[in-house]
Amino acid sequence: MPKDSIALIGFMATGKTTIGKALVKYLDNDYKFIETDQLIVQQADKSIPRIFDEEGEDKFREYEISVCKYVSKLNKVVISCGGGVILNHINIQHLRKNCHIVLLTATPDEIFNRAIKDGKETRPLIDKENPKREIMKILKFRKPLYEKAAEIVIDTTDKQIENIVREIVINTYLKT
């Protein structure tokens, strides 16, 4: 059976949520938009910062595995994956079962500018002493993991949302 879902992976502020919602609109009401982080919050019944504070990162990653396993069984979904989903290969194995895995990238400067615009309430990483250096450090570590997981790579820097959506549809052969 051909894959009929899309998992958007990538670092924070590369456009996963924005592009995911636009993609669902383009694909009509047959598709549903899902965010793994939101499902984790529902499953844990607490915010992600609270999960990290009270239960630790290991427990958060357990929730993430559970959510990836669940969403991999759904049909006609566009999934915005948390930025660290690639840290555990089990997540990617689950997602590959029914999803085209699309890596959204952006330059470190673009990520920084988007994150600053979103604010530190939604992007805690920018609340660091040197957020740009922190972004580059994490990107350097995660880049090979993102690239290994991805079937398709799309740089979102300076691109119109509609063009990114079309590029995803063309490269994944999804038709409306």
Task: Please write the tens of the pLDDT for every residue from 42-63.
Answer: 999 998 888 888 998 899 999 9
176 — pLDDT class (breaks 50, 70, 90) = very low
pLDDT tens digits for 69-103?
999 999 999 999 999 999 999 999 999 999 999 99
- Percent of the chain whose predicted confidence (pLDDT) is above 70: 91
Strand partners, 33: 78
- Taking the C-alpha atoms of residue 131 and residue 115, their distance in angstroms, rounded to an integer, is 10
Alpha carbon distance 29, 90 (integer Å): 30
No. of helices (H) and no. of strands (E), the chain: 8, 5
Cα–Cα distance for residue pair 111/132, rounded to 1 Å: 9
Q: What angle do CA 35, 121, 18 make, to 5 degrees?
A: 35
Instruction: Provide the CATH number for the domain formed by 5-172 in this structure.
Output: 3.40.50.300
pLDDT reported for residue 119: 62
Mean pLDDT in the chain? 91
State residue 77 phi and psi, 5-degree precision.
-125, 150
Read off the pTM: 0.93
Q: Hey, what long-range contacts does 114-121 have (CB within 8 A, 24 or more apart)?
A: 114/13, 115/12, 115/13, 118/13
Q: Give the C-alpha separation, 168 to 29, whole Å.
A: 17
Q: Does residue 30 surpass a pLDDT of 90?
A: no
Q: Where are the domains of the chain?
A: 5-172
| Angle of CA points 35, 25, 21, to nearest 5° | 25
Rounded distance, CA 4 to CA 173, Å? 9
With both helix axes pointing from N to C terminus, report the angle between 131-149 and 108-118 in degrees, rounded to the nearest 10: 120
Residue 124 pLDDT > 60, yes or no? no
The per-residue pLDDT for range 14-27, each reduced to its tens digit, is 999 999 999 999 99
3-state SS, residue 152: strand
